[in-house]
Structure 1
Protein backbone atom coordinates (compact mmCIF):
# COMPACT_ATOMS: atom_id res chain seq x y z
CA UNK A 1 0.00 0.00 0.00
CA UNK A 2 1.00 3.52 -0.50
CA UNK A 3 2.20 5.91 2.00
CA UNK A 4 0.39 9.06 2.50
CA UNK A 5 2.26 12.27 3.03
CA UNK A 6 -0.09 14.59 4.76
CA UNK A 7 2.23 17.55 4.26
CA UNK A 8 2.45 17.18 0.47
CA UNK A 9 -0.22 19.78 -0.28
CA UNK A 10 1.79 22.32 1.65
CA UNK A 11 5.07 21.34 -0.03
CA UNK A 12 3.60 21.33 -3.56
CA UNK A 13 1.89 24.67 -2.97
CA UNK A 14 5.18 26.15 -1.90
CA UNK A 15 6.92 24.81 -4.99
CA UNK A 16 4.16 26.17 -7.24
CA UNK A 17 4.45 29.59 -5.66
CA UNK A 18 8.25 29.48 -6.17
CA UNK A 19 7.71 28.77 -9.86
CA UNK A 20 5.22 31.61 -10.02
CA UNK A 21 7.70 33.98 -8.39
CA UNK A 22 10.43 32.82 -10.76
CA UNK A 23 8.22 33.41 -13.80
CA UNK A 24 7.22 36.83 -12.51
CA UNK A 25 10.84 37.73 -11.83
CA UNK A 26 11.90 36.66 -15.31
CA UNK A 27 9.07 38.68 -16.87
CA UNK A 28 9.98 41.71 -14.76
CA UNK A 29 13.64 41.45 -15.79
CA UNK A 30 12.62 41.16 -19.47
CA UNK A 31 10.31 44.16 -19.11
CA UNK A 32 13.07 46.22 -17.50
CA UNK A 33 15.47 45.15 -20.26
CA UNK A 34 12.93 46.14 -22.93
CA UNK A 35 12.28 49.47 -21.22
CA UNK A 36 16.00 50.18 -21.10
CA UNK A 37 16.90 48.63 -24.49
CA UNK A 38 14.41 50.47 -26.72
CA UNK A 39 15.42 53.99 -25.65
CA UNK A 40 19.06 52.97 -25.85
CA UNK A 41 18.57 51.66 -29.38
CA UNK A 42 16.69 54.83 -30.35
CA UNK A 43 19.46 56.94 -28.85
CA UNK A 44 22.08 55.02 -30.84
CA UNK A 45 20.03 55.37 -34.05
CA UNK A 46 19.62 59.08 -33.40
CA UNK A 47 23.36 59.51 -32.87
CA UNK A 48 24.17 57.62 -36.08
CA UNK A 49 21.64 59.73 -38.01
CA UNK A 50 23.15 62.92 -36.57
CA UNK A 51 26.59 61.75 -37.66
CA UNK A 52 25.26 61.01 -41.13
CA UNK A 53 23.63 64.45 -41.30
CA UNK A 54 26.89 66.10 -40.27
CA UNK A 55 28.83 64.18 -42.91
CA UNK A 56 26.28 65.07 -45.61
CA UNK A 57 26.31 68.73 -44.56
CA UNK A 58 30.08 68.81 -44.73
CA UNK A 59 29.93 67.15 -48.15
CA UNK A 60 27.33 69.61 -49.43
CA UNK A 61 29.24 72.48 -47.84
CA UNK A 62 32.25 71.89 -50.04
CA UNK A 63 32.84 74.65 -52.58
CA UNK A 64 32.86 72.44 -55.69
CA UNK A 65 29.66 70.66 -54.63
CA UNK A 66 28.02 74.03 -54.00
CA UNK A 67 29.02 75.18 -57.47
CA UNK A 68 27.61 72.01 -58.99
CA UNK A 69 24.34 72.48 -57.10
CA UNK A 70 24.13 76.08 -58.30
CA UNK A 71 24.69 75.03 -61.92
CA UNK A 72 22.03 72.34 -61.55
CA UNK A 73 19.59 74.90 -60.14
CA UNK A 74 20.40 77.32 -62.97
CA UNK A 75 19.80 74.60 -65.54
CA UNK A 76 16.50 73.67 -63.89
CA UNK A 77 15.42 77.32 -64.08
CA UNK A 78 16.46 77.55 -67.72
CA UNK A 79 14.59 74.34 -68.52
CA UNK A 80 11.43 75.66 -66.88
CA UNK A 81 11.72 78.91 -68.85
CA UNK A 82 12.30 76.97 -72.08
CA UNK A 83 9.28 74.79 -71.33
CA UNK A 84 7.16 77.92 -70.87
CA UNK A 85 8.40 79.34 -74.17
CA UNK A 86 7.81 75.97 -75.83
CA UNK A 87 4.21 75.96 -74.64
CA UNK A 88 3.72 79.49 -76.00
CA UNK A 89 5.38 78.53 -79.29
CA UNK A 90 3.12 75.50 -79.61
CA UNK A 91 0.04 77.67 -79.11
CA UNK A 92 1.28 80.16 -81.71
CA UNK A 93 2.13 77.34 -84.09
CA UNK A 94 -1.35 75.86 -83.71
CA UNK A 95 -2.89 79.27 -84.38
CA UNK A 96 -0.71 79.77 -87.45
CA UNK A 97 -1.80 76.41 -88.82
CA UNK A 98 -5.43 77.50 -88.50
CA UNK A 99 -4.86 80.72 -90.44
CA UNK A 100 -5.19 80.44 -94.19
CA UNK A 101 -1.77 80.94 -95.67
CA UNK A 102 -0.73 82.93 -98.70
CA UNK A 103 1.33 80.55 -100.76
CA UNK A 104 4.22 81.52 -102.97
CA UNK A 105 2.24 80.58 -106.09
CA UNK A 106 -0.23 83.33 -105.17
CA UNK A 107 2.59 85.86 -105.16
CA UNK A 108 3.79 84.53 -108.51
CA UNK A 109 0.26 84.95 -109.91
CA UNK A 110 0.16 88.55 -108.66
CA UNK A 111 3.58 89.24 -110.22
CA UNK A 112 2.54 87.69 -113.54
CA UNK A 113 -0.52 89.98 -113.62
CA UNK A 114 1.60 93.18 -113.50
CA UNK A 115 1.52 95.15 -116.78
CA UNK A 116 4.77 96.51 -118.26
CA UNK A 117 3.99 100.14 -117.44
CA UNK A 118 3.45 99.49 -113.72
CA UNK A 119 5.74 98.81 -110.76
CA UNK A 120 4.88 97.83 -107.19
CA UNK A 121 6.51 99.80 -104.40
CA UNK A 122 4.79 98.26 -101.34
CA UNK A 123 2.96 94.99 -100.83
CA UNK A 124 1.28 94.45 -97.44
CA UNK A 125 -0.28 91.06 -96.81
CA UNK A 126 -2.44 90.17 -93.83
CA UNK A 127 -4.47 87.07 -93.11
CA UNK A 128 -7.48 88.42 -94.99
CA UNK A 129 -6.30 91.28 -97.17
CA UNK A 130 -3.59 92.41 -99.60
CA UNK A 131 -2.73 96.08 -100.02
CA UNK A 132 -0.66 97.15 -103.03
CA UNK A 133 0.95 100.55 -103.52
CA UNK A 134 2.78 101.34 -106.70
CA UNK A 135 3.57 103.64 -109.61
CA UNK A 136 2.23 103.40 -113.17
CA UNK A 137 3.01 105.28 -116.36
CA UNK A 138 -0.67 105.83 -117.02
CA UNK A 139 -4.04 105.15 -115.35
CA UNK A 140 -4.80 102.45 -117.95
CA UNK A 141 -1.96 100.29 -116.55
CA UNK A 142 -3.57 100.50 -113.10
CA UNK A 143 -6.94 99.54 -114.57
CA UNK A 144 -5.32 96.63 -116.46
CA UNK A 145 -3.67 95.40 -113.26
CA UNK A 146 -6.97 95.66 -111.39
CA UNK A 147 -8.67 93.63 -114.14
CA UNK A 148 -5.89 91.00 -114.10
CA UNK A 149 -6.17 90.62 -110.31
CA UNK A 150 -9.94 90.24 -110.52
CA UNK A 151 -9.36 87.26 -112.82
CA UNK A 152 -7.46 85.42 -110.07
CA UNK A 153 -9.76 82.94 -108.35
CA UNK A 154 -8.35 83.43 -104.83
CA UNK A 155 -9.06 87.20 -104.66
CA UNK A 156 -12.56 88.36 -103.85
CA UNK A 157 -12.76 92.16 -103.91
CA UNK A 158 -10.18 94.15 -105.88
CA UNK A 159 -10.58 97.89 -105.46
CA UNK A 160 -8.39 100.82 -106.45
CA UNK A 161 -8.71 103.29 -103.62
CA UNK A 162 -6.51 106.13 -104.85
CA UNK A 163 -4.87 107.15 -108.13
CA UNK A 164 -2.95 110.40 -108.01
CA UNK A 165 -0.75 112.04 -110.61
CA UNK A 166 2.70 113.31 -109.75
CA UNK A 167 2.68 117.07 -110.31
CA UNK A 168 6.38 117.20 -111.15
CA UNK A 169 6.52 114.14 -113.38
CA UNK A 170 3.35 113.91 -115.41
CA UNK A 171 4.11 110.35 -116.50
CA UNK A 172 3.85 108.90 -112.97
CA UNK A 173 0.57 107.89 -111.35
CA UNK A 174 0.65 106.64 -107.76
CA UNK A 175 -2.04 104.19 -106.73
CA UNK A 176 -3.27 102.18 -103.75
CA UNK A 177 -5.17 98.97 -104.36
CA UNK A 178 -6.94 96.83 -101.75
CA UNK A 179 -7.75 93.17 -102.36
CA UNK A 180 -9.64 90.80 -100.07
CA UNK A 181 -8.83 87.11 -100.04
CA UNK A 182 -11.64 84.68 -100.76
CA UNK A 183 -12.99 82.33 -98.08
CA UNK A 184 -11.09 84.06 -95.27
CA UNK A 185 -12.98 85.23 -92.22
CA UNK A 186 -11.76 88.37 -90.52
CA UNK A 187 -9.80 87.68 -87.33
CA UNK A 188 -12.57 89.01 -85.06
CA UNK A 189 -15.22 86.78 -86.62
CA UNK A 190 -12.97 83.69 -86.49
CA UNK A 191 -12.58 84.05 -82.70
CA UNK A 192 -16.31 84.22 -81.99
Structure 2
Protein backbone atom coordinates (compact mmCIF):
# COMPACT_ATOMS: atom_id res chain seq x y z
CA UNK A 1 0.00 0.00 0.00
CA UNK A 2 1.07 3.38 -0.80
CA UNK A 3 1.65 6.00 1.86
CA UNK A 4 0.03 9.29 1.54
CA UNK A 5 1.97 12.35 2.56
CA UNK A 6 -0.12 15.43 2.97
CA UNK A 7 2.87 17.63 3.75
CA UNK A 8 4.70 16.85 0.56
CA UNK A 9 4.00 20.20 -1.10
CA UNK A 10 5.44 21.95 1.90
CA UNK A 11 8.62 19.96 2.09
CA UNK A 12 11.56 20.86 -0.13
CA UNK A 13 11.88 18.52 -2.92
CA UNK A 14 15.47 19.10 -3.80
CA UNK A 15 18.25 21.46 -2.75
CA UNK A 16 19.53 21.18 -6.27
CA UNK A 17 16.89 23.56 -7.59
CA UNK A 18 17.93 26.31 -5.17
CA UNK A 19 21.60 25.93 -6.08
CA UNK A 20 20.75 26.27 -9.76
CA UNK A 21 18.68 29.37 -9.07
CA UNK A 22 21.54 30.92 -7.04
CA UNK A 23 24.02 30.06 -9.79
CA UNK A 24 21.88 31.55 -12.55
CA UNK A 25 21.17 34.65 -10.46
CA UNK A 26 24.88 35.19 -9.81
CA UNK A 27 25.71 34.65 -13.47
CA UNK A 28 22.94 37.06 -14.43
CA UNK A 29 24.31 39.74 -12.07
CA UNK A 30 27.86 39.25 -13.39
CA UNK A 31 26.71 39.41 -17.02
CA UNK A 32 24.60 42.48 -16.16
CA UNK A 33 27.64 44.18 -14.58
CA UNK A 34 29.83 43.27 -17.54
CA UNK A 35 27.29 44.89 -19.85
CA UNK A 36 26.61 47.84 -17.47
CA UNK A 37 30.26 48.94 -16.92
CA UNK A 38 31.04 49.70 -20.58
CA UNK A 39 27.75 51.59 -20.85
CA UNK A 40 28.59 53.66 -17.75
CA UNK A 41 32.13 54.28 -19.06
CA UNK A 42 30.75 55.31 -22.46
CA UNK A 43 28.41 57.80 -20.75
CA UNK A 44 31.28 59.19 -18.65
CA UNK A 45 33.51 59.42 -21.71
CA UNK A 46 30.77 61.25 -23.60
CA UNK A 47 30.34 63.72 -20.69
CA UNK A 48 34.11 64.29 -20.53
CA UNK A 49 34.24 64.91 -24.28
CA UNK A 50 31.46 67.48 -23.91
CA UNK A 51 33.39 69.18 -21.07
CA UNK A 52 36.55 69.18 -23.19
CA UNK A 53 34.65 70.77 -26.07
CA UNK A 54 33.25 73.45 -23.74
CA UNK A 55 36.71 74.14 -22.28
CA UNK A 56 38.27 74.35 -25.75
CA UNK A 57 35.57 76.79 -26.79
CA UNK A 58 36.25 78.93 -23.71
CA UNK A 59 39.99 78.69 -24.26
CA UNK A 60 39.68 79.83 -27.86
CA UNK A 61 37.42 82.75 -27.00
CA UNK A 62 38.88 86.11 -28.07
CA UNK A 63 38.59 87.54 -24.55
CA UNK A 64 40.61 84.73 -23.01
CA UNK A 65 43.11 84.73 -25.89
CA UNK A 66 43.82 88.42 -25.32
CA UNK A 67 44.41 87.74 -21.63
CA UNK A 68 46.71 84.81 -22.47
CA UNK A 69 48.67 86.96 -24.93
CA UNK A 70 48.97 89.72 -22.33
CA UNK A 71 50.22 87.25 -19.73
CA UNK A 72 52.73 85.75 -22.17
CA UNK A 73 54.14 89.17 -23.04
CA UNK A 74 54.37 90.06 -19.34
CA UNK A 75 56.05 86.75 -18.63
CA UNK A 76 58.58 87.47 -21.38
CA UNK A 77 59.14 90.99 -20.02
CA UNK A 78 59.69 89.62 -16.52
CA UNK A 79 62.20 87.11 -17.86
CA UNK A 80 64.03 89.87 -19.74
CA UNK A 81 64.01 92.09 -16.65
CA UNK A 82 65.42 89.28 -14.53
CA UNK A 83 68.22 88.80 -17.07
CA UNK A 84 68.92 92.54 -17.07
CA UNK A 85 68.92 92.53 -13.27
CA UNK A 86 71.49 89.73 -13.22
CA UNK A 87 73.64 91.64 -15.71
CA UNK A 88 73.33 94.84 -13.65
CA UNK A 89 74.33 93.00 -10.48
CA UNK A 90 77.41 91.63 -12.23
CA UNK A 91 78.30 95.11 -13.52
CA UNK A 92 77.67 96.62 -10.07
CA UNK A 93 79.96 94.07 -8.44
CA UNK A 94 82.70 94.80 -10.99
CA UNK A 95 82.29 98.56 -10.52
CA UNK A 96 82.38 98.18 -6.75
CA UNK A 97 85.68 96.35 -7.07
CA UNK A 98 87.08 98.99 -9.43
CA UNK A 99 85.74 102.01 -7.55
CA UNK A 100 88.62 102.70 -5.22
CA UNK A 101 88.34 106.46 -5.61
CA UNK A 102 85.57 107.45 -3.23
CA UNK A 103 84.83 109.52 -0.15
CA UNK A 104 86.72 107.07 2.06
CA UNK A 105 89.90 107.55 0.03
CA UNK A 106 89.61 111.33 0.15
CA UNK A 107 88.94 111.24 3.89
CA UNK A 108 92.07 109.09 4.41
CA UNK A 109 94.19 111.59 2.52
CA UNK A 110 92.68 114.45 4.51
CA UNK A 111 93.31 112.66 7.83
CA UNK A 112 96.96 112.07 6.91
CA UNK A 113 97.54 115.72 5.91
CA UNK A 114 99.23 117.98 8.50
CA UNK A 115 97.26 121.08 9.51
CA UNK A 116 99.47 123.68 7.89
CA UNK A 117 99.37 122.06 4.40
CA UNK A 118 96.87 123.41 1.89
CA UNK A 119 96.08 121.69 -1.39
CA UNK A 120 96.22 123.72 -4.58
CA UNK A 121 95.42 120.79 -6.88
CA UNK A 122 94.50 117.13 -6.51
CA UNK A 123 94.86 114.96 -9.60
CA UNK A 124 93.51 111.41 -9.40
CA UNK A 125 93.76 108.92 -12.24
CA UNK A 126 93.77 105.14 -12.52
CA UNK A 127 97.44 104.73 -11.75
CA UNK A 128 98.36 107.47 -9.30
CA UNK A 129 97.38 110.47 -7.22
CA UNK A 130 99.30 113.73 -7.52
CA UNK A 131 98.86 116.53 -5.00
CA UNK A 132 100.11 120.07 -5.50
CA UNK A 133 100.22 121.85 -2.19
CA UNK A 134 101.58 124.77 -0.26
CA UNK A 135 102.95 124.96 3.29
CA UNK A 136 104.97 127.28 5.46
CA UNK A 137 107.73 124.75 6.32
CA UNK A 138 109.48 121.73 4.83
CA UNK A 139 108.90 119.56 7.91
CA UNK A 140 105.17 119.45 7.11
CA UNK A 141 105.97 118.05 3.67
CA UNK A 142 108.17 115.37 5.25
CA UNK A 143 105.47 114.53 7.82
CA UNK A 144 102.88 114.23 5.05
CA UNK A 145 105.15 111.91 3.05
CA UNK A 146 105.83 109.84 6.19
CA UNK A 147 102.10 109.53 6.96
CA UNK A 148 101.30 108.39 3.42
CA UNK A 149 104.11 105.79 3.40
CA UNK A 150 102.99 104.31 6.71
CA UNK A 151 99.37 103.99 5.59
CA UNK A 152 98.42 100.55 4.24
CA UNK A 153 96.31 102.03 1.44
CA UNK A 154 99.13 103.80 -0.40
CA UNK A 155 102.43 102.81 -2.00
CA UNK A 156 105.29 104.35 -4.01
CA UNK A 157 105.06 107.69 -2.20
CA UNK A 158 107.58 110.27 -3.36
CA UNK A 159 107.93 114.04 -3.42
CA UNK A 160 108.48 115.12 -7.00
CA UNK A 161 109.46 118.71 -6.28
CA UNK A 162 109.72 121.37 -3.57
CA UNK A 163 110.01 125.06 -4.51
CA UNK A 164 110.30 128.01 -2.17
CA UNK A 165 108.28 131.11 -3.02
CA UNK A 166 108.50 134.01 -0.58
CA UNK A 167 107.65 132.52 2.86
CA UNK A 168 105.91 129.36 1.56
CA UNK A 169 106.95 126.07 0.00
CA UNK A 170 105.16 124.68 -3.06
CA UNK A 171 105.41 120.91 -3.48
CA UNK A 172 104.24 118.05 -5.65
CA UNK A 173 103.75 114.62 -4.08
CA UNK A 174 102.77 111.51 -6.04
CA UNK A 175 101.65 108.08 -4.80
CA UNK A 176 99.69 105.03 -5.89
CA UNK A 177 96.69 103.33 -4.34
CA UNK A 178 97.42 99.73 -3.35
CA UNK A 179 95.45 97.09 -5.22
CA UNK A 180 94.26 99.25 -8.13
CA UNK A 181 96.23 97.36 -10.77
CA UNK A 182 95.16 94.02 -9.25
CA UNK A 183 91.49 94.99 -9.61
CA UNK A 184 91.95 96.24 -13.15
CA UNK A 185 93.33 92.89 -14.32
CA UNK A 186 90.30 91.03 -12.86
How far does residue 155 in structure 1 lie from its aligned partner after superposition?
3.5
Paired position in structure 1 for 2:15: 16
CA distances 1:153-183 after superposition (whole Å, capped 9, x unpaired) = 35331346989xxxxxxxxxxx89441338x
- The answer to whether the 8 Å contact 1:149/1:158 transfers is no
Partner SS, residue 79 of structure 1? helix
How far does residue 52 in structure 1 lie from its aligned partner after superposition?
0.5
RMSD of the TM alignment (CA)?
4.8
Provide closer, same or farther for how the CA distance between residues 146 and 16 of structure 1 changes in structure 2, counting only shifts above 3 A: farther
* Pair 1:131-2:128 in alignment: yes
Paired position in structure 2 for 1:75: 74
- Structure 2 residue ranges without an equivalent (≥5): 135-139, 162-171
The aligned runs of 1:1-192 (5 Å cut-off) are: 15-86=14-85, 103-110=102-109, 118-120=120-122, 122-124=123-125, 131-132=128-129, 148=144, 150-152=146-148, 153-159=151-157, 177-181=174-178, 186-187=182-183
Provide closer, same or farther for how the CA distance between residues 162 and 61 of structure 1 changes in structure 2, counting only shifts above 3 A: farther
Paired with 1:94 and 1:137, the residues of 2 have a C-alpha distance of 35
Aligned residues: 160
Paired position in structure 2 for 1:167: none
How far does residue 137 in structure 1 lie from its aligned partner after superposition?
9.8
CA distances 1:67-125 after superposition (whole Å, capped 9, x unpaired) = 11122222233333444455565667677888896551431454685x668424x5235
- The answer to whether the 8 Å contact 1:124/1:132 transfers is yes
Give TM-score scaled by structure 2 length.
Answer: 0.58
Provide closer, same or farther for how the CA distance between residues 159 and 83 of structure 1 changes in structure 2, counting only shifts above 3 A: same
- Structure 1 residue ranges without an equivalent (≥5): 139-143, 164-174
- The answer to whether the 8 Å contact 1:146/1:159 transfers is no
Provide closer, same or farther for how the CA distance between residues 36 and 176 of structure 1 changes in structure 2, counting only shifts above 3 A: farther
How far does residue 60 in structure 1 lie from its aligned partner after superposition?
0.7
Provide closer, same or farther for how the CA distance between residues 179 and 101 of structure 1 changes in structure 2, counting only shifts above 3 A: closer
How far does residue 49 in structure 1 lie from its aligned partner after superposition?
0.6
Provide closer, same or farther for how the CA distance between residues 176 and 102 of structure 1 changes in structure 2, counting only shifts above 3 A: same
Paired with 1:49 and 1:23, the residues of 2 have a C-alpha distance of 38
Provide closer, same or farther for how the CA distance between residues 39 and 159 of structure 1 changes in structure 2, counting only shifts above 3 A: same
Paired position in structure 1 for 2:168: none
